[in-house]
Chain A
Amino acid sequence: MNSREFLLLMAAMGAVTYLPRMLPLVALSGRKLPSWFAEWLELIPAAILSALIAPTLFAHADPRVLTFGKIELLAALPTLFCAVKTRSLAGTVVVGMLCYWGLGLVM
C-alpha cells in the first residue's frame, strides 16, 4: 500500500467514524423531540455505560466466556463503593487504579 492509498483508506475510515458522530447532533439539536423519544434518550447514557463496562468485569475476551473471578470485578467493588460515597470522579479513578494494581500484585 503506497502513501496515497494509505491516506485514502484513512480518509474513508475517518468519514465512516465521523458521520455517525455528527449527523444526530446536527439533525436533532434544537428540535422538539416526541416525549417517548426524549425519555428513551434519557435512559441511553446509563444503558451505554453499563453495556460498556459489563464485559470488562464479567467476561474474558479471547475466547469470549463468562467469568466471575476477574481482578477487574474485584476492584470494581471498592471503586463502586467510593463512587457512591464520595461522588468524586478523581477520587474514584485513583481508588480504582490502586485497587486494581494492588490486587494484581497479590493475585
Chain B
Amino acid sequence: MAGTVRQGLSAAWPICLGYFPIGLSLGVLAQKVGLAPWQMAAMSILVFAGGSQFIAVAMLGVAASPVAIVSTVFMVNLRHLLMSSALSVHFPGVSRRFLALFAYGLTDESFAVNLTRFSQGGWHRYSALTLNHAANTTWIVSTVAGVYLGQLVPPGAAGVDYALTGMFICLLVFQLRGPIFTITALIAAACSLMAYLWLPGNAYVIVASCCAATAGLVLKRTLLKREVPA
C-alpha cells in the first residue's frame, strides 16, 4: 500500500509542476474579479477542472447568468466522457465506490499519465488514485495561494509554462505503438486545428478525437487488414 502511494506520488510531479503556475494565475484572476480565498477553495474543491474554472471566473467577472456558466462548464468538460470510457477497461471488477472517488480526479493530465502507466503494466489503482489526489491538492493549494500572492511570481519563470505541453508530447510518443496510432494522431492534429479555427470553445478536442479515432478504425479495418493478413 505504501509502495503504491509512493509510486503515485513520484509519477505526479510533472503534473504538479505544471499545475502550480496555472493555479497561481487562476487565483490572481479570481482575486481580480473579487472572489475571496474561501470561494476559490470551494471552486477548486467542487469543480477541479482548470480550463473551465478560468472560463467560469471570467464569466463571474462579467456577471454572466448561472445557467450560462453551468452550461459552458458542461460543454468544456464533456471531453472527459471519452477519457473516462478509455480508462474503464483498466478497472475490471473494481468497486463502484472506488470508481466514484477516482472519477473526481480525472483531468486531461491525470488521464494521460494514468492511461500510459496502466498500459505499461504494473500500475496499481491506488497509485492512480494517489496521483489524482496529489494533482488535486496541488491545484487547490496553488489556486488559493494565487488569490493571496497576486502577481509575486514572475510569468514564465524557467519555462514552467511548457511543463504540461512537454508532458503531453512525451505521453503522445508513448501512445504511438504502431503505424495506425501515428496515422490516427496525425488525423487528430489536422482535425483539431480545423475545429479549433471554426468551432467555438474547446469543442475541438472531442470533435477531433472522435473523427480521428473513427477514421483510424476504418483505416485499420479496411486498408491495413488487407495489406497485412493476420
Q: Which A residues form the contact surface with B (CB < 8 A)?
A: 1, 5-14, 16-18, 20-31, 33, 36, 38-41, 43-59, 64-66, 72, 75-76, 79-80, 82-84, 87-90, 92-102, 104
Contact = CB atoms under 8 A, between A and B. Distances in A.
Given A43-B220, A53-B168, A99-B159, 15 more contacts: A6-B39, A26-B100, A29-B89, A30-B93, A44-B83, A44-B213, A47-B209, A48-B205, A49-B172, A53-B172, A58-B189, A88-B170, A92-B167, A96-B169, A97-B166
Contacts of B2: none
Contacts of A18: 103-104
Nearest to A48: B209
Interface in B195-230: 196-197, 204-205, 208-210, 212-214, 216-217, 220-221
- Contact-residue bracket for chain B: 35 or more
A51 B189 contact: yes
B-side binding surface: helix, strand, loop or mixed? Answer: helix
A65 B197 CA distance: 7
Given A10-B42, A96-B163, A29 B191 contact: no
Contacts of A44: 82-83, 85-86, 209, 213
18 contacts: A6-B39, A10-B46, A16-B70, A16-B77, A20-B78, A21-B104, A41-B86, A41-B213, A48-B108, A50-B186, A51-B209, A59-B197, A64-B196, A79-B169, A82-B170, A87-B174, A97-B158, A100-B159
B162 A46 contact: no
